[in-house]
Structure 1
Amino acid sequence: MVFRSFYPGLLVFLISGTPIMGWTLDGPIPYGVQHWEIQNGLPQNSVSHITQDREGYMWLATEEGLVQFDGIDFHVYDRSAVKLMDHNDVVQLVADPQSGVWFSLVTGTILRFSRGQFSAHAPFPNPDGNRQNRLTVTREGQLFAADQRGLFRLDESGWTTLFEPSFGETPAVVADADSRVWVGQGKSVYVWDAEKQTIDTFSIPYPGAQGSILRLVWAEDRLAVATSQGLYWVMSDGTVLPDQRISTAVRDVHQDTVGTLWVAQDQLCAVQIHEIEVNPTSRKVLSPTALFEDREGQIWVGTSGHGLFKFSGASFVSFGEDQGLAAHPMTVLAGAQDQLIAFNRAGTGFRAQGGRFIPFLKTPNGLEVTALLAETDRVWTGTRNGLWVWQQAKGWESISLPLASAFIRVLYSDPSGKIWVGSDSDGVACVSPGALWVAERSGLRDCQVRDLIRDQEGTLWAATYQGLFCYRNQAWLKWETPFKSLYFRKLLVDARGRIWVGFYGGGLALVSPTPVQRSTREGFPTEVVYNLVPDRHGGLWFNGNKAFYRVDLDALAAHFLGQQPLPPIDVFRYADGLDSVESFGFNPSAFRDAKGRIWFATLKGISVVDPQVNKRETLAPPIRIDHVFVDGKAWNSDEPLRLGPNVRRLDIHFVGLSFIDPTGIRYRTRLTGYDENWQESGSSRKVSFTNLPAGHYLFEAVAARGNSDWSSQPAQLAFRVIPPIWERNPIRFLILVCFALLIYAIFRLRTFQITKQKMELARQVREKTAEILDMQDNLMAVSHRAGMAEVAGEFLHTLGNQLNSMLVSFSLLREHVDQGPNPHIRRVFERIKMEPTNPEILDKSEQYLDRVLQNWATGLEREMGEFQTNIQKLCELMVAQEKFATGEDVLSPFLLDELIRDILGLLNGILQKQSIEVELDLPPMPLLGEKHHWSHILLHLFRNACEALAEVDRPRRLRVEAKRDGNQAEIVIEDNGPGFKPEISAALFRQGFSTKPGGAGLGLHYCANMLQKMGASIQAENRPQGSGARFVIQLSC
């Protein structure tokens, strides 16, 4: 598409040869123009008729088919797509109030399109098959057709002939606001009044030869007659008046809603406002054939061979070569005393004069101007080759700067008249006024300076590609900010003293009062900001490298301070009158003039916007379901949409029907029954659904444009996905019954199998139980034998000790007998023999013999007592062993306390060897039970205690206590050994578990199992006081 500017209040004649500028600096805002041709989607470049249906689509009559246009896409209907069409050449079309479009073909065939369907209705009476006709529709939707024979009306019964004046050529026809039908041919205009059933005739007063009526147009309260001899008016009183200003052929005419009369002449499209004198313009639209105004006030122009045009009120005025600018991109522009000065890339300076731009200045050697400062009597230019100043009397003068870089990026004049110069790579210099300009280095060495500005407190700020700096106390200080981008590009101090900075890659930031940055990641529309220009109405205008923007400045500041969401931002592109949306970004490339208009330098010229008269459409556009495709095939039917179970993909195309910047329309969609939330679609006009489950659905789409709300009436499409046969209720019920029967059969079979398995399992359990019981009996027998072996070992050990003691006693006794008193008696006798008569010796001998015999008798008695004691112990040991060894599995009465003492007696050797102190608290406790099992249990417990005590170095104690309370008794066996971990107390009595390395884990299991069989129980715990284990046996006695 090609976008230009066109201007209301002007008429262009075929004979006009001198173009006149149609817009001055004080002129009105022009029309923006869009242009479409074959390369833009039109099937053919001739458009003979244009209309708009009730839903909002534009319809075009071309020689290659009927065209539907939604603002972006052209949909062509021709013979290859529509069977009812017998030719592609559409000669006329009209829209009816029922959302249908009637059109006639070159063959005379009349068809209607409505809701995606074509219909023929009653065939138009055309016996020759080559008579073209013209169509019109009244407010009530009544269709009329006129051909060379006369006027016809389509009724329920078919076509009715109203009158037949036998026109010599195909007439023009139109219905007025009162549903009267006007027919024009040659020099006559007929009006048929259905209510009065009358026909009136009016004659066109051609000035010379016979003329032809080309088009009839009803304009408010009068009829416009476009003829080959000019424009005529049939007034409400029946007077026919020629329009003296237009005397050449008129193809079409239209008076728009604001009173502008648009006239299409043989070769040019013209515009006239009321009675203003006709003036030509430089903008030409060749061979116009059709004019139409859509519901948004835009004028559409069809041409013969030159495509389709659309004229719309644009926000921007764009100036290019047609207005005197050379074919070079504009780099900078500025203003002084309401005088606009701009330079292009070739170094040519322009200013506005007489409604055009004229060149008035050329830089030395055509230097490209990269910075500009316009004063009353001087023009300062920064170039890639230093700083230059132009004065009317002196011409160009080069200013020497103490900078290593000759590339000047920015010029700024402070209130004192000093000129601050920012360079590309060597910071800032200051040029002081006077008879001779004196330049001094200011600082910021090695910095690329992109902008300079002074805040309300008088502080000078510099935006550089190395950061943000401020000039205080004759020194530049770097302003530390949290901003992610270092490419500071443009500065602005607004009326409230807030400092803003635009980035080259980083969006926009508020520097003070609080540093906040916003880029596209946070929803800001652009990463690049070349200019920041506030208008007089609270708006901020800025541009980047892809569009121009406007936003409410206070609302934007509130957003940056976290007080509200991002406000709506208006986006301006080609459809808004811009020839280009890009600029070089040199400084300055935008400014606001004394009248409040904002000017921008672009790659294709200069664009200006007047914020005071700029109004953007804020109403949400109507939205329609455009096309529906089921598995790639178009669906067109008035019947409800039903999707079979084999449908894999559903594509729904929708469109917001607005022709004011249709590319800026945003969409939301929702599929109720699948997802209840609205989904953002951006500018996409299509959604696809795949493999939808069976059910009822409602698809909805809404549209919004710019700052508008979303559509209050969404486009809707209800449809149903039919379930496959196996998902339908009767089949589901049948399947459910069959499934239930199958489940029942499986249940019965499984029950039988389970019963059989249970019987087999019971048999196996019995066998395994018997095996386990046998194994347990064997283990018990092993344990019993192990216990017997332990008892036997202890018995033999004790027996050996006793026999050894007896042997020692017997040896001592024998030695004592052998050492009897005989030696002492012989010595006494020998002494008496020596002095037989000495009485003193006899007395001493007697006393001595008494002492010797007495001592010998005493020692003999002692040794005999010791020997007797050992014999008694041996007898007791034999008795105890006999008691332990002769036990049987029969109940017998015995004293449990005596049994405990007997067992401890058997272990006496171990107790003495380990220095174990035994404490007994055993009252008499008769018991009826299996004595030998109790013997084994107690022996296991005592031996375990001895083995545990062997691991400690402290004094070892074993305490046995028995208590009785009625028929209940309790035996407590505790030691002060190491004890055991509490978490293994439950496992101590489990078969195979042992705390001893290499232990079989049978002893305690045997004890617990046997006690359980005898109606008793045993528990293991650590001693409550100190270390050691404690076993408690509870029994009935």
Structure 2
Amino acid sequence: MQKSRLLFLCFLFLQTLAYSQKGNYVIKQYTSENGLPQNSVKAIKFDKSGFCWLATESGIVRFDNNNFKPYGSDIVKGLKSERIVAMMTDTAGTILAQGLDFQNIKIGSSSSQYSFLPVLTDTNISFVTTGYLTQSLALDSLWQSIYDTKTIPAVKEPGGLKNGDIYLFLGEDAWFIRKSGPMKLKPFASEPTGSMVINDNYFLQIWPGNKITCWNNGIGQAGQIDGELAGNKNFLRGEFKALWCEQGSFIYAGGNVYELSYKNGKVSSRLVISNLNLEMPLCIAYRPDLNTYYIGTGTQGLFTIKISDFIYSNIPPESGPENYYTVGKTSNDDIIVINAIVHPDNTSFHVPLLNNHSRAMYTDSEDRVYYESEFQLFRYNSKTRTLDKNILQLDNRAMAIIPVVEDNTLLLCTHSTLYKTTLEGKIIWQKKLPEGTTATALLPLRNEEYLLATSEGVKWYDLKDQKITRSILDSFNIRNVYQDNQNRLWIGTDGKGSYLFSNNKVYSLSSGPRGAFSSIHSFIEDKNGNFWLPTNNGLYKVAVNELADFATGKSKSFFSSAFNNTNGLRTNEFNGGAHPNFQWLKDSALLLPSINGLIKFYPNRLTADFPQEKIYIDEISIDGQPVVLSKINESIELKPTFQALNIRIACPFFGNKENLKLEYNIGNDIDQWIPVPSSGIISINTLPAGDYKLMFRKAGSNKDTPNASIAINIIVSPFFYQTGWFLAGIVLLMASLGYLYSRRRLAKLEKEKLKIEKIVELRTEELNAAIVQLENSEIALKQSNHVKEQIVATVLHDIKSPLFSMRMAGKSLVKNWNKSNDENLDQVIGLNQLIGELSRFTDQFFSWAASQQEHFKVTKTKFSLQQIFGDIEALFKEILQVNNNRFSIPETDIQCFTDKEILVLILRNLVDNANKNTENGIISIQAAFKPEGLQIQVSDTGKGLNAFQIENFLNRDKAVKNGRMGSVIILEMLDKIDGALQVNSEQGKGAVFTITLRENKS
């Protein structure tokens, strides 16, 4: 008991309080160095189509979050000065700008297909410096009378309310101008430092020292601004800038931006951005849907400041690096990470849990947290803040801790073993996993069946029989497995792709944007049927069924929303390989581990839908000549000689750029889509005559997605020789020529008729000759069949005698077994000779028989003659010793190109024949190139052949009759390889057999 108290006091001492993070923004600055034409941005407005318009001293500039497009005097016809001094919107959302020469420019909404071009307008506009534009003849008349009384030029700075009322203050002149007429107001002794419209229908004036007057229906109410702005020293000194836009009223002071609001007669403030370094802020715009501020400056260009979609807690430094894997949770939504506990309000404190390498965690109903630390099971009581170390020694790293509800026990899975224990760490049973299995995760299925994620694939494991009943993806290291409500398995690997297992089939998922889906750390399904996928390259949201349909081939596209550094993540790399590695909180927040901090966000608050902004055609030019968009109705007509059609498109999407990928298609292949370059310009060079549809779409869209695509019809007119009239003329001309030709042809045919009759007679004679030839072929076939019958008879005769002799020799050997060894040896030698003769005869016959098959093919290769000479020498070495013969084979480096097996068969027959007819002699094999081809000679010093024997050897019919199968095989095989045989012999001096291979020449 005393030990537990001491441990508890130690924990209280080590646990230190930290505070939640502030000021998490993503700031981008655009200047003349990265696309902005000029660094002085005086006004920022968004039109109804979604485009951002900037007033600069280089003209009006349109921004679509990707490209800046200036509209100067070259585009706005009649514009005298590029310098834009003012730009405001009216209550209908129409943007109007004014140049240095008081020229008014109108920016309306874009059409359904083509973007709007700014144009000069004669509309009488009473410009204001804050609030909404309105047409007010009373203001113009009043201002003119004031202006005429001034000895120095005066600057008009009225404020327009959304209801059309206007406030005008200039020294002693103070007016409230309504539609019914102007009303004189009491002026103030000093000019305010800043003035602006607030809450659309009130006018606010601000003096140093936090003194304000808020006007409502021409009645001023003095007071001060409450909230965080009241303590800003710069603001109190009057060093601030009042900024207004349709979405709110703001004060910039001391590097901070404060939002003002008016309610119940009081003006309050709240800090929205801190620690900025703006030298001369001039204007502001705010997009609540993106939680992004746009601030224009006098010298620093344009700033976009996005409030992060993600929240990071300040973890105490003593807890160690914020590289997290396992994320635990208690019943009151306290989050357990490495050596720290984070409260729901994002405060945290240090706890020495020693869980730096833990990959599995479980919290029971008493808020006791079980986890593994260096192969030991620890338990931390979050209520008493006590730690029980090593309640169980494990054999390896724990990868899963699963509660068994039925008996209130725990199932622990390490890399190699399953443990069932009590909540106190007592082992109930311990079972080794099958040999060669390295577990990385464990998922309960049913009836004591579990799904094992391993470094060797996904296994179905029967706990009762301790057997693996099924296995998939055996060559992959599995990081996580998730089973959805349709019993589909979603599988993530260690960088080798992600997979879907459905209906007993494995489907590979798309690699995803920038290959991110190759490493999905978790498949996190929300209540709306979406996956949240943390990867090594950002966080993605995708509809579960859309992803499944794409993987199984039911659909051709799917859309995934990307979240990365652009949305406020410190890093795009998340962590996985732990269980659990995410947590849902009661307020619908989701927490994820990354290599740089614990990430908290609210999925239902994120803008993660498909980009809804339309795609617009911005510019069209044909061979460098611009086309006026207003003159295009339905189709673009091109001459057949056109060289280049350039089209610029734009889509004013200000979300994450990863979520808008434009692509185009032209032609009939609807599945071939080409990415549109970041410039938005595509070039089409030459097209055959015909009608085309040029399609632009957002990647991931389908036919039911709104605003997903636009189409342009293109007609390429044909050359004159491709027109129907030209073709009709050609047909008429060809018909006339055909008629004339047919007349001449008939006359010629009459002349050729007699010639054809003679040819028929000649062909008849040739046919008769062919019949005679066919009859001769029939006779030859009969003779060939007769020859084969003779060969069969010869085979039966020749094989019968050796077999009979072998039988008799065998009987004699058995009968005389007890005789002397010399006699038995002679009989064995004789038997061996008979077997050798029978074997050689069999080889010869079957080689010939194989060559007679219909599908027999000659396979020519390049090989060394020396190699096959050596093989023949080794084969016949012992056979030659029987007749006391020897080889003489000179070395050669000749390479031969023919069928090696056929050539070896021929040479073996010739060597065998030479050995039979030679005793105490020499058998030679040599080769040489001759003009007529490669010659190979097999010669012997035997008894030789006479002319009659040579003729019988070279005549196949006689060879068959005389039972010389060897010569028949040699001659037929030589025909197969385009060879010829020549025999030279002189009786008593041996014979020379010369093979000539005509295809082989040096």
Which interval holds the TM-score relative to the shorter structure? Answer: 0.5 to 0.7
> 2:207 matched to 1:217?
no
Matches for 1:648-663 after TM superposition, within 5 Å: 648-663=643-658
Matches for 1:628-639 after TM superposition, within 5 Å: 628-631=620-623, 635=627, 638-639=630-631
* 1:319 Cα deviation from its structure 2 partner: 1.0
> 2:157 matched to 1:172?
yes
Matches for 1:253-268 after TM superposition, within 5 Å: 253-254=243-244, 262-265=250-253, 267-268=255-256
Contact 1:21 1:282 in 2 (8 A): no
Matches for 1:198-277 after TM superposition, within 5 Å: 198-202=181-185, 205=188, 209-213=190-194, 216-217=196-197, 219-225=199-205, 232-245=213-226, 248=235, 251-254=241-244, 262-265=250-253, 267-272=255-260
Q: 1:625 aligns with which of 601, 617, 629?
A: 617
Q: 1:489 aligns with which of 459, 471, 479?
A: 479
* 1:68 Cα deviation from its structure 2 partner: 1.4
CA distance in 1 between partners of 2:481 and 2:399 (Å): 14
Query: Normalising to structure 2: TM-score of the pair?
Result: 0.58
CA distance in 2 between partners of 1:20 and 1:105 (Å): 50
Residue 331 of structure 1 is matched in structure 2 by 325
> Residues 667 and 467 of structure 1: is their aligned pair in 2 closer, same or farther, counting only changes over 3 Å?
same
Residue 593 of structure 1 is matched in structure 2 by 585
Contact 1:481 1:515 in 2 (8 A): no
* 1:609 Cα deviation from its structure 2 partner: 3.6
> Residues 151 and 20 of structure 1: is their aligned pair in 2 closer, same or farther, counting only changes over 3 Å?
farther
Q: 1:68 aligns with which of 42, 59, 62?
A: 62
> Residues 744 and 539 of structure 1: is their aligned pair in 2 closer, same or farther, counting only changes over 3 Å?
closer
> Residues 95 and 388 of structure 1: is their aligned pair in 2 closer, same or farther, counting only changes over 3 Å?
same
Residue 334 of structure 2 is matched in structure 1 by 340
CA distance in 1 between partners of 2:454 and 2:517 (Å): 20
> Residues 760 and 529 of structure 1: is their aligned pair in 2 closer, same or farther, counting only changes over 3 Å?
closer
> Residues 307 and 611 of structure 1: is their aligned pair in 2 closer, same or farther, counting only changes over 3 Å?
same
* 1:607 alignment partner, SS class: strand
Contact 1:451 1:463 in 2 (8 A): yes
Query: Normalising to structure 1: TM-score of the pair?
Result: 0.56
* 1:638 alignment partner, SS class: helix
Residue 964 of structure 1 is matched in structure 2 by none
> Residues 231 and 427 of structure 1: is their aligned pair in 2 closer, same or farther, counting only changes over 3 Å?
farther
Residue 594 of structure 2 is matched in structure 1 by 602
Number of residue-to-residue matches in the alignment = 721
Contact 1:319 1:605 in 2 (8 A): yes
* 1:648 Cα deviation from its structure 2 partner: 1.8
Q: 2:452 aligns with which of 451, 462, 471?
A: 462
> 2:342 matched to 1:352?
yes
Matches for 1:997-1008 after TM superposition, within 5 Å: none
Residue 8 of structure 1 is matched in structure 2 by none
The Cα offsets for residues 458-501 of structure 1, whole Å up to 9 and x where unpaired, read as 54443112233456455643241455764332234567887654
The Cα offsets for residues 296-351 of structure 1, whole Å up to 9 and x where unpaired, read as 5755331436664557787x5331659999874333321112243354xxxx5332
Contact 1:530 1:585 in 2 (8 A): yes
Q: 1:291 aligns with which of 267, 270, 284?
A: 284
* 1:69 Cα deviation from its structure 2 partner: 1.4
Residue 925 of structure 1 is matched in structure 2 by none
Residue 438 of structure 2 is matched in structure 1 by 448
CA distance in 2 between partners of 1:384 and 1:530 (Å): 23
* 1:625 Cα deviation from its structure 2 partner: 1.3
Contact 2:646 2:683 in 1 (8 A): yes
> Residues 595 and 689 of structure 1: is their aligned pair in 2 closer, same or farther, counting only changes over 3 Å?
same
Contact 1:108 1:124 in 2 (8 A): no
CA distance in 1 between partners of 2:372 and 2:70 (Å): 55
The Cα offsets for residues 239-295 of structure 1, whole Å up to 9 and x where unpaired, read as 3555533673553445767xx755444632223566596454674444353232459
The Cα offsets for residues 616-646 of structure 1, whole Å up to 9 and x where unpaired, read as 5468322311233434665555333654443
* 2:573 alignment partner, SS class: coil
Residue 519 of structure 1 is matched in structure 2 by 508
CA distance in 2 between partners of 1:328 and 1:46 (Å): 41
Matches for 1:404-803 after TM superposition, within 5 Å: 405=396, 407-415=397-405, 420-423=411-414, 426-428=416-418, 433-434=423-424, 442-455=432-445, 457=447, 459-469=449-459, 472-473=462-463, 476-483=466-473, 486-492=476-482, 501-504=491-494, 505-510=496-501, 514-521=503-510, 526-535=517-526, 540-550=531-541, 572-574=563-565, 578-587=569-578, 588-611=580-603, 616-617=608-609, 620-631=612-623, 635=627, 638-640=630-632, 643-665=638-660, 675=668, 687-693=682-688, 699=694, 701=696, 703=698, 709-711=704-706, 715=710, 717=712, 721=716, 755=744
CA distance in 1 between partners of 2:172 and 2:412 (Å): 74
> Residues 702 and 54 of structure 1: is their aligned pair in 2 closer, same or farther, counting only changes over 3 Å?
same
CA distance in 1 between partners of 2:716 and 2:207 (Å): 57
* 1:480 alignment partner, SS class: strand
CA distance in 2 between partners of 1:108 and 1:377 (Å): 72
The Cα offsets for residues 555-592 of structure 1, whole Å up to 9 and x where unpaired, read as 88899999999987665445555444431213132122
* 1:60 Cα deviation from its structure 2 partner: 2.0
Contact 1:48 1:62 in 2 (8 A): yes
> Residues 107 and 163 of structure 1: is their aligned pair in 2 closer, same or farther, counting only changes over 3 Å?
closer
Contact 1:134 1:146 in 2 (8 A): no
Contact 1:175 1:218 in 2 (8 A): no
Residue 88 of structure 2 is matched in structure 1 by 94
Contact 1:428 1:445 in 2 (8 A): no
> Residues 436 and 491 of structure 1: is their aligned pair in 2 closer, same or farther, counting only changes over 3 Å?
same
Contact 1:510 1:560 in 2 (8 A): no
CA distance in 2 between partners of 1:769 and 1:75 (Å): 81
> Which residue identity is paired with 2:334?
L
How high is the sequence identity, in percent, across the aligned residues?
Answer: 14
> Which residue identity is paired with 1:650?
L
Contact 1:519 1:526 in 2 (8 A): no
* 1:583 alignment partner, SS class: coil
Matches for 1:36-75 after TM superposition, within 5 Å: 36-38=29-31, 41-43=35-37, 47-62=41-56, 66-75=60-69
Matches for 1:937-948 after TM superposition, within 5 Å: none
Q: 1:302 aligns with which of 295, 309, 321?
A: 295
CA distance in 2 between partners of 1:87 and 1:178 (Å): 32
CA distance in 2 between partners of 1:645 and 1:337 (Å): 74
Contact 2:663 2:676 in 1 (8 A): no
Compute the RMSD of aligned alpha carbons: 5.6
* 1:600 Cα deviation from its structure 2 partner: 0.7
CA distance in 2 between partners of 1:296 and 1:203 (Å): 41
CA distance in 2 between partners of 1:471 and 1:580 (Å): 37
> Residues 523 and 583 of structure 1: is their aligned pair in 2 closer, same or farther, counting only changes over 3 Å?
closer
The Cα offsets for residues 541-567 of structure 1, whole Å up to 9 and x where unpaired, read as 443333434566688889999999998
The structure that has the greater radius of gyration is: 1
> Residues 560 and 627 of structure 1: is their aligned pair in 2 closer, same or farther, counting only changes over 3 Å?
closer
CA distance in 2 between partners of 1:706 and 1:578 (Å): 26
Contact 1:300 1:311 in 2 (8 A): yes
Contact 2:78 2:120 in 1 (8 A): yes
